Amino acid sequence: MIRRLLSIPGAGLVALAVGTPLLAQTFPTENPVMQRMWRLGMDSSHTGALAQALLDSIGPRLTGTPGQRNGNEWLVRMYTSWGIDAQNERFGTWRGWRRGHSHIDLLTPRVRTLEGTMLGHSPGTGGRDVTASTVILPEFADSVAFVAWLPNVRGKLVLVAPGQPTCRPSADWDENATPASDARMDSLRARTTEAWSRRIAATGHSLAIGTGSLGLRLEQAGAAGVITSRPKNAWGAIEIFETYNTSAPAITLSCEDYGLVYRLTENDQHPTIRMNLDAEPLGEQPVFNTIARIPGTAKPDEYVVLSAHFDSWDGSSGATDNGTGTITMLEAMRILRLAYPQPKRTILVGHWSGEESGLVGSRAYSEDHPDVVTGMQALFNQDNGTGRIVRLSASGLPNGAEHIAQWIERLPVEFNEQIQFGGAGFPAGGGSDHASFSCYGAPAFGLGALGWEYFNYTWHTNRDTYDKIVFDDLKSNATLTAMLAYLASEDPTMITRERVDLAAIAASAGESGGGRFRAPTSWPECSTAPRSTRPRLR
């Protein structure tokens, strides 16, 4: 059966069971194309070999880095070897950087090799050891007091994050602590976070990803470096983003080792840290989307688009964000080339760069290719981890919902039963690349996956590695995506662009008292893609 999630004003999403036609039950003999797709994707999958080559050999793909460029070239080679036309399409430049090794050691009051790494784009130490003592960013009354304190950072490593009261996940506390102890820890964590937010705000600067100026101000005051930590609510996982420092290295430590250094500093036990960091800024570098296509035969100017961002943060391998989305679309194209080599509509795949910097690559592509946006029959985007696809809605297009419902009914029963169909739904809000097309009112759909602890353990972390992939789910996703592309291509009619009435929905929700979910009240506007690195505060 199809499980449809219908939006009812005042009641949120309600699951309704809708019987499936006999076609799903007779699928193995009724549709030879999808039958072959099943065999290619489920019985003869290439996902393991493709993922190993991408994630272990090429590795992370931070926009503007040699790793990403190597990955772009690898994609083109793979598509070309399968007889699929592919090219790397330049859309601008981005600041380049080469990551080398990160060796970080505590020297006093005892010796320990620390678990940590540079932030993306951090300066290195110029091939030499740098040893420095530490200081904690204190509380300030205001930015005037912060400026008066700045001479204290000269030659020091400045700790700019709180020491966490525990590095155990909340689930461990919930399971093992007494209710009173659990509540006290929850309260202490919340107070620690709130207090540190006020501490940062009082400096008049920010640590916000991509725009933070605090590190730059500490660098200008002569700091030897900046130490931070963004632990997840999970064992050993830390978020690793970027810095705009130009001379003072910025490093991040695990929750446990950051806490160690923080406590030693707080208790005047005089920790010293030695760093040897290899990194090289490369200036503005050309950046590319990789685009591959299987040309349409009957309607070549109408398009079915497969979509996944190719860039990643580089604290690990970028496996589930978004190597799995990349492999899903790559493998789906291989399946389509073998089982459906002459599609009615042109089938494109976009492997986007710069998603982590604000959907830059996909926004640039939508601007540069209005013909694809206008002629789009459907876009399928996947960007939320390794789990099997279980959610789909029509991004605010009622006619899109009618088409998707028909496609789902024609899927094998294994796929048909796992998808929660959300009906027309709402336009994409900007979290991933389908928003770059949905903002135009194009039929661009997100393929929602099961969690597999994605946000706790692998999203933007040092733990996002090959071994976190669930290959049974990954090969299922590639096969399902190939089938959806086939059904969208074969559909005799185009999806129209009528939109849901967001104002009416919002008014109904308001009259009924609403709920926790807030529906958008207007259609998202399309943002212009920056074609080079945005200027940052200095």
Q: Which residue has the tokens 């937010």?
A: 197
Mean pLDDT is highest, among 10-19, 22-31, 431-440, 506-515, for 431-440
Q: What is the enclosing helix (H) or strand (E) of 146?
A: helix 143-149
List the end-to-end C-alpha distance of the chain, in Å, as a whole number.
Answer: 57
Q: Quote the DSSP letter at residue 17.
A: E
Question: pLDDT at position 209, please?
Answer: 67
Q: Is the pLDDT of residue 210 over 80?
A: no
User: Over the stretch 226-255, which tens digit does the pLDDT of each residue have?
Assistant: 999 999 999 999 999 999 999 999 999 999
Share of the chain above pLDDT 70, in %: 92
Q: What HEC string does 452-470 produce?
A: CCHHHHHCCECCCCHHHCC
User: Over the stretch 66-105, which tens digit does the pLDDT of each residue have?
Assistant: 999 999 999 999 999 999 999 999 999 999 999 999 999 9
Contact 124, 225 (CB under 8 A): no
Q: Is the pLDDT of residue 15 over 80?
A: no
Written as six digits, the tokens of 414 are 């294994």
Question: pLDDT at position 22, please?
Answer: 36
Q: Where in the chain is the domain with CATH 3.50.30?
A: 110-270
Q: How confident is the model at residue 21 (pLDDT cuts 50, 70, 90)?
A: very low
Question: pLDDT at position 30, please?
Answer: 81
Write down the number of H helices and E strands in the chain: 18, 17
Q: Where in the chain is the domain with CATH 3.40.630.10?
A: 2-95+284-511
d(CA 500, CA 510): 17
Q: How confident is the model at residue 12 (pLDDT cuts 50, 70, 90)?
A: very low
Mean pLDDT for the stretch of residues 466-490: 98
Question: pLDDT at position 337, please?
Answer: 98
d(CA 245, CA 250): 7
Share of the chain above pLDDT 90, in %: 88
Q: Is the pLDDT of residue 23 over 60?
A: no
Q: Which of 94-108, 197-211, 425-439 has the lowest mean pLDDT?
A: 197-211
How, if at all, do strands 250-253 and 225-228 pair?
parallel
Q: How confident is the model at residue 429 (pLDDT cuts 50, 70, 90)?
A: confident
Q: How confident is the model at residue 516 (pLDDT cuts 50, 70, 90)?
A: low
Contact 326, 370 (CB under 8 A): no
CA dist list (Å): 377 to 8, 306, 328: 27, 11, 20
Mean pLDDT for the stretch of residues 379-404: 97
Question: pLDDT at position 24, please?
Answer: 40
d(CA 416, CA 414): 6
464: amino acid identity, one letter? D
CA dist list (Å): 156 to 132, 362, 489: 6, 41, 61
d(CA 272, CA 261): 9
User: Over the stretch 272-308, which tens digit does the pLDDT of each residue have?
Assistant: 999 999 999 999 999 999 999 999 999 999 999 999 9
Contact 252, 227 (CB under 8 A): yes
Helices 471-490 and 324-339: crossing angle in degrees, nearest 10, is 50
d(CA 94, CA 532): 5
Nearest to 481 by CA among 523, 524, 446: 446
Q: Which residue has the tokens 């035969």?
A: 297
Question: pLDDT at position 430, please?
Answer: 86
Q: What is the mean pLDDT of the chain?
A: 92
User: Over the stretch 100-142, which tens digit does the pLDDT of each residue have?
Assistant: 999 999 999 999 999 999 999 999 999 999 999 999 999 999 9
Contact 118, 279 (CB under 8 A): yes
Residues 6+ apart with CB under 8 A from 52: 466
How, if at all, do strands 389-392 and 85-108 pair?
unpaired
Contact 398, 494 (CB under 8 A): no
Question: pLDDT at position 171, please?
Answer: 96
Nearest to 262 by CA among 349, 171, 147, 135: 135
Question: pLDDT at position 509, please?
Answer: 62
Question: pLDDT at position 506, please?
Answer: 75
User: Over the stretch 307-354, which tens digit does the pLDDT of each residue have?
Assistant: 999 999 999 999 999 999 999 999 999 999 999 999 999 999 999 999
Domain range 2-95+284-511, CATH class: alpha beta
Q: Give me the CATH topology for the region 110-270.
A: Glucose Oxidase; domain 1 (3.50.30)
